[in-house]
Amino acid sequence: MNKPNGANSDSRALLVVGGKPLTGEVRISGAKNSALPLICASMLADSPVILTNVPLLQDVHLICEVLTALGARCDFNNHELTIDPTSISRQDAPYELVRKMRASFLVTGPLLAKFGRAEVPLPGGCNIGPRPVDEHLRAFAELGAEIEFKKGVVYARGDTLKGAEVYFNISSVGATENLLMASAMAEGVTTLEHCAEEPEVADLVDFLVSLGVDIRWEGPRRIVVHGKRDLRQSEPYNIIPDRIEAGTYALAAVGTGGGVQVKNCRPQHMTALIEKLREMGVEVETGDDRLTIAPTEKVEATKVRTQPYPGFPTDLQPQMTTVLTRAGGLSVVTETIFEQRFSYVPELVRMGAGLLQQENAVVVDGNKSRLTGAPVEAYDLRGFAALTIAALMAQGESLIAGYNHLVRGYEDFIEKLTGLGAEVKLTDRSYKLKNNNHK
């Protein structure tokens, strides 16, 4: 994990020659944030599970390493992943793996439900502020688990979890997912109230249903789970497309004024972004599995506020702020989910963006922004995506360090951008930019 102002030992960097509108088509991969919980949920099954449309990403490989360390078998055949959970023999997830990714905490629910115990170190992850797991732990306890916390490790025990009424204080994606997996095998009925309803949560519900669990959505933010043992898959499960990846390419098109067709996505999962783009004067056409961004000469300033789904996603906030530097006038972007998600702001300012951050909001002055290439550093995954969009919008060369963050979440990033006509390549962070006086 690399802290803003801390040293990042990854010498790789992305070289971008900007100033050209993106054009053409891009095909979206399977959703990272679906793949991770679905891989964890596969541990609940009593026979091998096949997942298709699995994105080949570092985070996905990492969660497979965690499962492998527990005794499961994970075999990739391109984007098809077979998980054999029948050989799981341990319930203690290794710190060395878990510390690298917050989503590894999602092994807790299935381990506890299936084996009656889980020992999982508190997770690390992206540099986007403190991200506690108190909601997960309180809810496990409501199902009857005993929770202890010693030397940075959560010990959860409960031979028989019992269905309960769980109310989440925060509509947390991870807590909802962990509890869905725990209650899938609990005795009786569990009601999850005020839960997250992100498309990735819905994908996990569909996957658990495909394993034989009776789960129903009963009104907004309310899911009812009838626990069951002996879960088995009857046919491979196809992971939904990544709405954040799709949104990133759509925003890269808008930022550069280009016309791009985003293929193999689900526009119905992207309504908040699409509506916001239309409000900004961008022409967006949608089909069942694609959306098309028309070239735009002028973009209107706007207000954006991140919210749990179906609101505007926090994972697209940095990319949207970047695009708003080309809007005429003042925009305001407010972050309500992860308040420390502005590590990219000083880097964008170095590139010439007129930004002023005040607490959890950034004021973007499009009239005072003129992006030029510069060496910059990303401190988290979506920050890297935002700086890439800025570099594509800017005149001249940019060098983006912090490549280790990018590989966590964007499959074939360089190839996909190159396919849209971008000049991008992987290089070393010692590369000296041409025609550039930035230090």
Positions touching ligand UD1 (CB under 6 A) are 33, 36, 102-103, 131-136, 170, 172-175, 196, 200, 314-315, 337-338
The conformation of residue 225, written as its DSSP 8-state character, comes to E
In whole angstroms, how close is the CB of 366 to ligand UD1 at the nearest point?
Answer: 26
Q: Pairing between strand 259-263 and 23-27?
A: parallel
Per the structure block, which two tokens stand in for 420?
Answer: 């849209």
In whole angstroms, how close is the CB of 360 to ligand UD1 at the nearest point?
Answer: 11
Per the structure block, which two tokens stand in for 358?
Answer: 């005040």
Residue matched to tokens 């300012």: 349
- Give the nearer residue to ligand UD1 in terms of CB position, either 197 or 397: 197
- Give the nearer residue to ligand UD1 in terms of CB position, either 41 or 196: 196
- Give the nearer residue to ligand UD1 in terms of CB position, either 106 or 387: 106
HSE (side-chain half, CA atoms, 13 Å) at 84: 6
Per the structure block, which two tokens stand in for 238?
Answer: 């196809």
| H or E stretch covering 217 | strand 214-217
**Residue 126 catalytic?**
yes
- Give the nearer residue to ligand UD1 in terms of CB position, either 92 or 339: 339
Q: Which of 286, 227, 203, 268 is nearest to 109 (CA)?
A: 227
Q: What is the rounded (10 degree) CA torsion for 122, 124, 130, 136?
A: -40
Catalytic residue among 64, 126, 195, 265: 126
CA distance 409 to 29: 10
In whole angstroms, how close is the CB of 232 to ligand UD1 at the nearest point?
Answer: 26
In whole angstroms, how close is the CB of 405 to ligand UD1 at the nearest point?
Answer: 13
Residues 6+ apart with CB under 8 A from 207: 38, 41, 237
- Give the nearer residue to ligand UD1 in terms of CB position, either 213 or 381: 381
CA distance 333 to 324: 9
The conformation of residue 415, written as its DSSP 8-state character, comes to H
- The closest residue (CB) to ligand UD1 is 174
In whole angstroms, how close is the CB of 21 to ligand UD1 at the nearest point?
Answer: 29
What amino acid positions are annotated as catalytic residues? 126
